Structures are given as structure tokens and as C-alpha cells.
Amino acid sequence: MRVAAVVVFAFLVVLFIVFRPSPTKGVTLGVIHSSAYGNVLDVTSGPLAGFPLYEFSGDAPQRPGCGTTRARGYDLDPNGSREMTCTGPMSDMLNDVTSDDWPALTSSLRALAGPGVRQDLIGTITRAGVGKQVTYAGHPLYLFDPSSAPFRPLGEDYPETVKPFAPWHGYWTLVAARNGQSDPGRVLIELDAPRHGERVLAVQVDPNVSPFAMSVFTYSKRLCSHCAPTWVPVLTNATPLVRGVDPSSVGTRRLRDGALQVTYENRPLYEYARQTVQLKSDGSPGTTGLAGANARLDGGTFSPVKLAN
């Protein structure tokens, strides 16, 4: 009987291996709801079900900035940098390949919309070294960390600008299910002292892992038609939190796509995609530099917001 049982078990294992669906063939997008971020996209089918999805500020239309070129950078490792690529195929995550910083969400079949997700916003782009990457409202979608309870996405508002960070030149955020916009949650506006004791306006980044202040900038002209992806609007999904700054000076303006950009004294705020970051002795991020100060674009100038001591 034991021999017969072993034979039957072996047959069932072979049957499962032969006929199980490939986890990379098709995916379904769903929604994670939280008080901090509202409704954001996640994966609801296959072995990566529950993983929240991210978009990258450095991905320009038809020209993704998160690519497969290898580079060295800090990646939550206090002992130094390592060689990696920004992205790679989703199968790498399933096979425990860790050299991809943000594996792409890929699907060889039509990706499906679950409840709360718009099917008309789901698409794909074909990328060398990646495959058919799923997009939402034109934004390529990426994986990073599994869901947590309570919901504290580790990739939310994570900067990867220049070394010692991974030099992908941009910021990572969750994806709003209703329209595919970047969803940074309710941002915190605070002070930073990046050099010589100067106090400048900043936004808190990497809030769920190693929160620190990233200097922000204003633009001298009313509009900047070619800002993206180098100059990233500071967005929020609710009235910004404020620490050490006059709350009456901090506000928001509604952009044409419906997003809320944070303002200071009615001037829109931007982050710089190539901002410098210092690491403390324990490997955690410290204060930022002021790379990007006085940069000119479209006839205007970007300037840090300096505050009186």
C-alpha cells in the first residue's frame, strides 16, 4: 500500500507541474484600501497576490527611466553599495533573483481589472530584458514589497536619485486606483539644514523606513512645460502635515489631471530627480544637499526656499 501511495503522490505532483498555469502569464489588478493612502493598486492573482504596485517619476512617456542597465548604489545596506539593475522581469522575483531593484509587473495575457480598478486604464508595453510590462494610465507598474498589516508600504515615496543611492534619478510612489496618478499619501512639510546651518523648506521622504527631509524648490515662472521627469511636483492626497513651518504658508493647487501639488506662499513645490543624499555612519539617510539650486529650464530658475533662522 505504501508503494502504491507513493506512486499516486508522484503522479499528482507531475500532474500539478505539467498543468498548473504559469504565474507570469496573466495577472489581475485590485485595490488595497487604507486611511493613509486611500485606494491604491495591488496584485490580486498568482503567487504575488497582495503585493502593492508602484510607479516611478523618472518614467517618461514611451521612454521608461527605470531600465536594465547595471549600476552600483546603496540599497538599504549599511555596509555599502551593490551592483544591480533598476528593473527586470517579474520571474526574477518569483525565482529569488535579487539583482533587480524594482521588478516589473509582467503579463503575457491581458491583465484584468478587479473591483475598483478601471479596465480602460490597463495596458502593456514590451521592453527588452523585461517582457510585456503592465501599465496603468500609461505608467509602467513595478513590484517591491509584499503587503503588510497595518499597511506600511516600504517603497512609498522612496528616493533613488544619485549615488550613494541607486542612481535611477527619481522617486517611487503607490498608484491611485481611480486614475493612475502617483499617490504619496498625506505629505509632511518640514525644515532641513543641508549646509552651513541654512534652513530650507523640505518634504519628508521614505516615511515608512528611514524618514528624512528632502529639500524642495520653487520655479520662477508660473508654468514649467518641460519639468518632468527631472523636476517632480511635490504631491499630496490631503492637506499637507506641517512641522516647524508656518501652516498658513503651506497650501495646495489642483493640477489639470486632478492631482494636488503642494505650495508654499502660493508657489508650487518641486523635488529634484538628481538630488544628493548623505548617509550617516549607521547607513541611514541624512540631510540632503542642494544640488539643483539655481538650475535654469524653459527660461525660469529653480530655487530652494530659504527660511530665516
Share of the chain above pLDDT 90, in %: 70
Q: What is the mean pLDDT of the chain?
A: 88
Predicted local distance difference test score (pLDDT) of residue 16: 31
d(CA 29, CA 111): 7
At residue 21, does pLDDT exceed 90? no
112-113 and 28-34 as β-strands: parallel, antiparallel, unpaired? parallel
Q: What is the DSSP letter of 174?
A: E
Predicted local distance difference test score (pLDDT) of residue 195: 65
188-192 and 241-242 as β-strands: parallel, antiparallel, unpaired? parallel
**Per-residue model confidence as pLDDT tens digits over 190-201:** 998 776 678 999
**Per-residue model confidence as pLDDT tens digits over 209-236:** 999 999 999 999 988 878 889 999 999 9
Which three cell numbers mark 99?
Answer: 539583482
**Per-residue model confidence as pLDDT tens digits over 28-45:** 999 999 999 999 999 999
CB 192 within 8 A of CB 186: no
CB 261 within 8 A of CB 255: yes
**Per-residue model confidence as pLDDT tens digits over 55-109:** 999 998 878 999 999 999 887 665 667 899 999 999 999 998 889 999 999 999 9
HSE-CB at 148 with a 13 A cutoff on CA atoms is 10
- What's CA 300's distance to the chain center, in Å? 27
Confidence of residue 25 (pLDDT cuts 50, 70, 90): low
